[in-house]
Amino acid sequence: MKAKRPAARTYLLSATALLVLLALTIGAAYANLGPLNTVVAMAISVAKAAIILFFFMHLRYSKPATWIFAFAGVFWLAMMFAMAMSDYLTRS
């Protein structure tokens, strides 16, 4: 069984979206959003990571088992960040 390959148009659109998000990242760096600077930067970076995962790493066209393992890795990373931040925020 041959795996489904995305069209060249998909790669062009996702690359264009990444460039637009890069421009947004640069614009957000110059904008004074106060405490929301970090939130906006993280939201943009999560969107860029999702585009890379789904289209360039072919996660969108893969089997469900691959999805499970990919999101298990993201979940594990989130747990590590949560534990590190809970330690950092409770120090005096």
In a structure prediction context, what are the per-residue pLDDT tens digits for the chain, which is 92 residues long? 566 777 889 899 999 999 999 999 999 999 999 989 989 999 999 999 999 988 888 888 888 898 899 889 989 999 999 999 999 889 87
Residue-level pLDDT at 2: 63
The overall longest dimension of the chain from CA atoms, in Å, is: 58
pTM here is 0.74
Residue-level pLDDT at 1: 54
Question: Which H, E and C letters describe the chain, residue by residue?
Answer: CCCCCCCHHHHHHHHHHHHHHHHHHHHHHHCCCCCHHHHHHHHHHHHHHHHHHHHHCCCCCCCHHHHHHHHHHHHHHHHHHHHHHHHHHCCC
